Chains A and B, each alone.
Chain A
Amino acid sequence: MGYPNDRRYTKDHEWLVLKGDVATVGITDYAQHELGDVVFVELPKTGAQVAAGKSFGTVESVKAVSEIYAPASGEVVEVNAGLHDTPEKINTDPHGDAWLIRIKMSNPADANSLMDAAAYEAYISEKAKEAAH
């Protein structure tokens, strides 16, 4: 799966797409692949405040629990409620339908400090090399 150019990426493998001051947030294909079969997601409620770099929820696969870190600070304005019943969508469409939350960013310019697709791809290929020794 390719990494779309319309968004920014974090070292913790989240992505965000900015529209106005609202960022749609999800986890990357790399992250879902590392987790394996996703069976459960726990997300904050609309209105909750999230802080960049801090955990805002969890994704669980059969074998592991993984925290999800907010790529930006702000207020949660929408939650992808459908994932409650179909968490496996995170495996099949992590960059699309399986977005997690929408955040009204306190400072939209912060998105520029995150990696673009090319930088993120370079970052994960470096990680893959480490894993293979």
Chain B
Amino acid sequence: MHRRLGAKMVNFGGWDMPVEYPKSGGLVAEHKAVRGRVGVFDVSHMGDIRIHTNLNASGALATVQHLGMNDASKLAVGQAHYSAMLYPQGTFVDDVIVHRLGEDDYLFVINAGTREKDINWVRQNTAGFDSAVEDLSDAYTQLAIQGPKAVDVLQKLTDANLAAIKNYWFTHGMVCGLRNTLIARTGYTGEDGFEIYVPSDVATSEMVWNKVLEAGQEYGIAPCGLGARNTLRLESKMALYGHEISDTINVWEAGLDRYCKMEKGDFIGRAALERAKAAGLTRTLVGLEMLDRGIARDEYCCCDEAGTKIGMVTSGSPSPTLGKNIALAYVPPARSAIGTVIYVEIRGQKYRAQVVPTPFYKRPKK
């Protein structure tokens, strides 16, 4: 489907995914379409795990509370939140969006690259719980329609009243003639937008994809690839597994404190996080803006003036919105204050960068 649109493809987590669509004008044009108008992403590589009740009426909630760091008891039916599954060391198995589908029924949307690991993790750690775990990853195609005009585009294709869905809430409705489609006001771009979950067979996925493009034509919609998805999420400081979060980075280091509810009761990783908090941070995630002409990239070293290594870039790229070269990096807390000058080593040379406030980009309030 994407090749017919002339997409450049890349292998990502075992999936052949579009990086950019030259016909959209390429990565920067796609990025700007999402910030200014609307773009659509095929993110069917994302996985889905449903955890629902078995016999005991609150079995699923107890399971979700055990697996995730956020407090799922605060979710209303129809609401979603950002959370993460942790190892006992307080580091990341994966980050997830938890959707409360029903009274005792939850959906975890997980990353592609970690899918096998995640489902195994969930199964291993819920054996003693009174809940049923289903891997629905192959059943759904996820499409993300993102940008200030996303609501207008999707409203043409659904009977659900989208204006009534708040950020990080969802509903079920008819989309492109498909009944009971999950429509969530979520995304990974820092813009308003929706993620919809449709049956994964090729004919249905293509039909919906084409209808979205058709409906979006009057708004200048662009099909977007993983390249723009990455620059959009980076500007908005949204973590990417294997970069800002991983099995060696803990919640406090990643600065995801507000999604981690220590007071909710025990969960996997909690004890280690308590110890880590008492011990204090040795590194913390900061935003960098390059002062010298150079582009910090993933895994480049950060160093001090003397050239001693002090940290590492986790994601770095030119920012299409800001016209600057930006990066996220782990550095010692003593070097994390806004305005601190840090050096990034690029092809053997030191380039000056400065710690700046994050997110780099915040969408204008309506």
A residues with a Cβ closer than 8 A to B are 33-34, 36-37, 39-40, 42, 58, 60-63, 65, 131-132
Contact = CB atoms under 8 A, between A and B. Distances in A.
A36 B293 contact: no
Contacts, number: 39
Contacts of A33: 22
Looking at A36, A60, A132, which has the most chain B CB atoms within 10 Å of its CB?
A36
Contacts of A62: 27-28, 227, 231, 317-318, 320
Given A62-B317, A62-B320, A63-B227, A36 B27 contact: yes
Contacts of B19: 63
B317 A63 contact: yes
Contacts of B293: 40
Given A63-B20, A131-B9, 10 more contacts: A36-B8, A40-B293, A42-B347, A58-B347, A62-B317, A62-B318, A62-B320, A63-B230, A63-B231, A65-B297
Contacts of B366: none
B287 interface: no
Contact of A37 (B3, B8, B28, B294): B28
A36 B227 contact: yes
Interface string B312-346: 00000110100000000000000000000000000
B19 to A, nearest CB: 7
Looking at A40, A61, A65, which has the most chain B CB atoms within 10 Å of its CB?
A61
A65 B227 CA distance: 14
B187 interface: no
Contacts of A63: 19-20, 27, 227, 230-231, 317
B295 interface: yes
A42 B347 CA distance: 11
B295 A132 contact: no
Interface string B219-232: 00000000100110
Interface residues of B, number: 20
18 contacts: A36-B28, A36-B227, A37-B26, A37-B27, A39-B318, A40-B293, A58-B347, A62-B28, A62-B231, A62-B318, A63-B20, A63-B27, A63-B227, A63-B317, A65-B295, A65-B297, A131-B9, A132-B3
A40 B3 CA distance: 28
A58 B3 CA distance: 29
Nearest to A132: B3
A131 B295 CA distance: 28
Contacts of B8: 34, 36
Looking at A58, A60, A63, A131, which has the most chain B CB atoms within 10 Å of its CB?
A63
A117 to B, nearest CB: 22
A40 B323 CA distance: 12
Nearest to B25: A37
B227 A39 contact: no
Nearest to A131: B9
Nearest to B9: A131
Q: Lowest 7 A-B CB distances belong to which pairs?
A: A37-B28, A63-B227, A39-B318, A36-B26, A62-B318, A62-B27, A36-B27
A33 B3 CA distance: 15
A39 to B, nearest CB: 5
Interface in B6-63: 8-9, 19-20, 22, 26-28
Contacts of B297: 65
Interface in B292-307: 293-295, 297
A63 B227 CA distance: 7
A131 B19 CA distance: 13
B6 to A, nearest CB: 11
A39 B294 CA distance: 10
A39 B227 CA distance: 15
Contacts of A42: 347
